[in-house]
Amino acid sequence: MQSPTPLLDRITTDPRILAGKPVVRGLRISVEQLLKALAAGQTEADLLAEYPELELADFRAVLLFAADAVQGQRVYRLGVG
């Protein structure tokens, strides 16, 4: 299994690219865009055909980045009344 650090190195931010949103390898393909496409049912194969500059490892990086983003979130139930 590949260490998570090299995968996360594939996700970059630059204020000059998409206003600093996290993107894949400096491309104008955002983490958000790929997550929404995958959630909508597009497959990795579909997206690789649409964006030939992507690589399979980019999808793993996007998913790991998203997992890390929500890792520390906690939900607390508030009592009513």
Q: Which residue would you say has higher pLDDT here, 3 or 72?
A: 72
Whether the CB-CB separation of 21 and 30 falls below 8 Å is answered with yes
Backbone angles phi, psi at 44, to 5 degrees: -60, -40
Tens digit of each residue's pLDDT (9 = 90 or more) over 31-74? 999 999 999 999 999 999 999 999 999 999 999 999 999 998 88
Length of the chain: 81
CB under 8 Å to 37, separation ≥6 — which residues? 46, 47
Predicted model pTM: 0.84
Q: Which residue would you say has higher pLDDT here, 28 or 5?
A: 28
**1 pLDDT exceeds 80?**
no
Rounded-to-integer distance, Cα 78 and Cα 81, Å: 10
Determine the pLDDT at residue 42: 98
